[in-house]
Amino acid sequence: MPKKNNHLAALNLQAISTWNPLLKDKPLIISGPCSAETEKQLLDTALALKKIDRVKVIRAGIWKPRTSPNSFEGVGNIGLQWLNTAKKETGLLTTVEVTTPEDIEACLQNEVDILWIGARSSSNPVYIRKLADALKGIDIPVLIKNPIHPDIDLWIGTLERFNKVGVSKLAVVHRGFFPFEKTALRNIPKWEIPLELKRRFPNLPIICDPSHIAGNVDSIFEIAQKALYLGMDGLMIESHIDPKSALSDAKQQMSPQQLSLLLDSLTYSHFVFESNLKHDKLEVFREQLDSIDQQMIELLSQRMEIVEQIGEYKKKNNLTIFQLRRWQKTINLNTKIGRKMGLSREFLVKLVSLIHMESILRQNDVMNRED
Characterize the bridge pairing of strands 234-238 and 93-97. unpaired
Residues 106 and 124 sit within 8 Å (Cβ to Cβ):
no
The whole model's pTM is what?
A: 0.74
Q: What is the third-level CATH fold of 280-368? A: Chorismate Mutase Domain, subunit A (1.20.59)
For the domain 6-265, what is the CATH superfamily, name and number?
Aldolase class I (3.20.20.70)
CA nearest neighbour of 13 among 204, 271, 293: 204
Which pLDDT score is estimated for 180? Answer: 67
307 close to 330: Cβ distance less than 8 angstroms = no
Question: Who contacts 167 (Cβ-Cβ below 8 Å, separation ≥6)?
Answer: 132, 135, 138, 139, 140, 142
According to the model, what pLDDT value does residue 360 have? Answer: 86
As a whole number of angstroms, the distance between CA 148 and CA 180 comes to: 11
Say what the pLDDT of residue 185 is: 80
Q: Residue 188 forms beta bridges with which residues?
A: 177
C-beta atoms surrounding 231 within 10 Å = 20
Give the whole-angstrom CA distance, residue 36 versus residue 42.
6
Can you give the pLDDT of all 371 residues of the chain as single tens digits?
A: 444 444 444 567 665 445 554 456 679 999 999 999 999 999 999 999 999 999 999 999 998 776 667 677 778 999 999 999 999 999 999 999 999 999 999 999 999 999 999 999 999 999 999 999 999 999 899 999 999 998 999 999 999 999 999 998 999 999 999 876 667 788 888 888 998 898 888 888 899 999 999 999 999 999 999 999 888 989 999 999 999 999 988 999 999 999 999 999 999 865 444 444 444 667 767 777 887 887 788 788 888 889 999 989 988 888 888 888 888 888 888 888 888 888 898 888 888 888 888 888 888 888 888 76
Q: Which of 202, 200, 193 is nearest to 227 (CA)?
A: 193
Sign of CA dihedral 158, 161, 165, 169: positive
Instruction: State residue 5's pLDDT score.
Output: 43
- The count of other CB atoms within 10 Å of the CB of residue 67 is 7
3-state class (DSSP) for residue 193: helix
Q: Half-sphere exposure of 187 toward its Cβ, with a 13 Å CA cutoff?
A: 24
Calpha distance 34→59 (Å, rounded): 8
Tell me the domain boundaries of the chain.
6-265, 280-368
3-class DSSP state for residue 109?
helix
Q: What's residue 272's pLDDT?
A: 47
Across the chain, the runs of DSSP E, i.e. the strands, are: 28-32, 55-59, 93-97, 114-117, 142-145, 170-174, 206-208, 234-238
